[in-house]
Structure 1
Amino acid sequence: MTTERDYYEILEISRDASEEQIKKAYRKKALQYHPDRNPGDKSAEDNFKEATEAYEVLKNPQTRQVYDQYGHAGLRQGAGAGGFGGGFAGFDIADALRAFMRDFGGFGGFEDIFGGFGGTSNRGRTVHRGRDLRVDLQLSLEEIAEGVSKKIKVNYKSTCDSCNGSGAANEEAKKTCPQCKGSGEIRQITRSLLGQMVRVAPCDYCKGDGTIITDFCPECHGSGLVDDKKTITVRIPPGVTTGNYLTMSGEGNHGPRGGPPGDVIVVVTEKEHEHFTRSGDDIVYEVPISFSQAALGTKLNVPTLAGESELNVPAGTQSGKVFKFRNKGIKHLRGLGRGDQLVRVIVWTPTKLGPEEKKLFEQLADNEKINPPRSSKSFFEKLKETLGV
């Protein structure tokens, strides 16, 4: 960050906020910007880190006092390298997640809200969430118009039954990590003018598990996961369009070592229709009519999403005229009602005429009643009038 924002401003609290108010404000910000709720959103990730940094400083009476007196400069001078220092150097997303889980891992149902994510549990061991799965689902216009339930086959990773997800061939094959002594984390203590500051990181030797495996499970080869298949039912609401997606929580890959499962993301694609094109929640149908039908008028049976409807084409209808069938379109995704069906008539011009047809059209060509009216003024005369010349 190039600009150091005020920590109180970041958490939207007053400078005399209590410890409980600081904690509550941070909880709200963390819920709003957590990476699991905003996958791929760099701005949300930065906001999450920024809020966590502010919380880490203000929740500690010592660092808060220094910040209140000297601002960011006081923290930089006092904390030294590895401190908070008003930027994100040395304070990355992993630090922010660990700090969050340290204080809120079992507080207020955060794990339920986010469906589980990599971080530090109350016991210190890293919990890895299962990967999300994407499923592309093609839907017809008829299915989109009314909504539909679909059964989807999913290939996913499930917990290995042989080792119960541990990845070990047997209990004897699981050993306590010699580096972290089973805690799953390493604590680094930095001493400064402000006192001791502790930085907690997952153990790199056991990857935060707290145990190491000396003999892998022959079924899953140590991963704790095996290939599996299942069928899930997804309810698609009416009015969706290409690119819309639904999240099936907890239906994705199981997490390693007993971690929570990921989600199945169902992404909708609209199939091209044989007769109709879509315009928002309206559907459009083009029907060709002959010159005589346009001139004399006619009645046509027109297909709709719910069957055929009769269209009355009055005499003298021009090519391109649009008629409307109300409430024959697609149900609205949000709210009541539905779109319309628009029927555009196109006067068809024959391209191959026999001698008799040519003679008939030649006779009609001189009839002023069936030819478009001609203006008495030329194009250039109209242009002069427009320009005032």
Structure 2
Amino acid sequence: MKEIIDIVAAYDEAHALGKKTALATVVLVEGSAYRRAGARMLITEDGLLTGAISGGCLEGDALRKARLVIMQQQPLLVTYDTTDDDDAKLGVGLGCNGIIHILIEPITGDFNNPINLLKDIIANRCYSVLVTMFSVKDRKAPQPGTCLCLTGDKLTVTSPENAPYRSALIANAEQVLRQQRSEIQVYEAGVNYTAFIEYIKPVISLVIVGAGNDAVPLTRIASVLGWDITIIDGRANYAASQRFPLANRIITAKPAGVLQHIEINDRTAVVLMTHNYNYEIALLKEILQIQLPYIGILGPKKKLERMLAEIEGAGVVISEEQLSNIYGPVGLDIGAEGAEEIALSVASEIKAVLSSRQGYSLKYKPAPIHTSHIKYLI
């Protein structure tokens, strides 16, 4: 999601300056590659790049192709085949042993251009589906490009009303949203079209309760990751924009009033780091009433055990599921010392938990690093 946010920001800046742009999207990967389907890069006519479609090997050639697309105002499907061991034939040192298909689209003045569809996804802050269509078999055929966006209850379809694949495409997009997994679909509709039906998760929302000095590096790391950051503290002189310029919002509130200020979903992580026991136990009582995937509590395990015992002693029943979502002491065991390393540890654990991963060294992973998240229906 961060790449999408960066691309939209870069487009707005380029548009304000009157620059023409194109969007390159990895739409299909056969074999292995540095980036997977869904990787994007915005290219301006003067050569500025935002995002990435490879480890840096394809960007130069994609820039040349994008300038052609901008000039002709027609989408172009480009394929890089690195299955030959001598990938130097391409003029790039990929070493990925895969076939990478990239669709480059000009960004026109049409309201439903790809960038505006990406803006819809960002604004809705919910699980979404974005569809990009292309023809591998007939490259001279029209390339529909980014043609459908499904965000919550809003459906935008830019393909022609009489397109023979339109109804099937809408049905498949709705199915992907239900199944929560991207798909590659092929439609035999005169022209043989392939659709990358992409399932996009909303950005992670990080709620940091506590505006002390150790919250500052956690905010910085979360900002680099593109997370939506909320700072909460009961002390107005601590919860200040001057101290946390990278936070999306800063709230001064007592524990009982915190929940009314934040939007909770299954991509929300809350970290308690106020160093104020009474504030934290009062807030923990509040947030245990809602379903959160991650609650991190800074401090020793004895502190958490005492908090839970006091809450249960007051007659509150804490279920096993609720306990499984409480992480204390917070963070992964990386030998962290100091606020910056602790922040790295905490951010890593949040990412692992929300990605349903264990957070161990990839050296010991028996399967490929990136198992396919795409269902192929070809």
TM range (shorter): under 0.3
Kindly indicate whether structure 1 or structure 2 has the higher relative contact order, using CA contacts under 8 Å at least 6 residues apart. 1
Q: Higher Cα Rg: structure 1 or 2?
A: 1
Using the size of structure 1 for normalisation, the TM-score is 0.20
Using the size of structure 2 for normalisation, the TM-score is 0.21
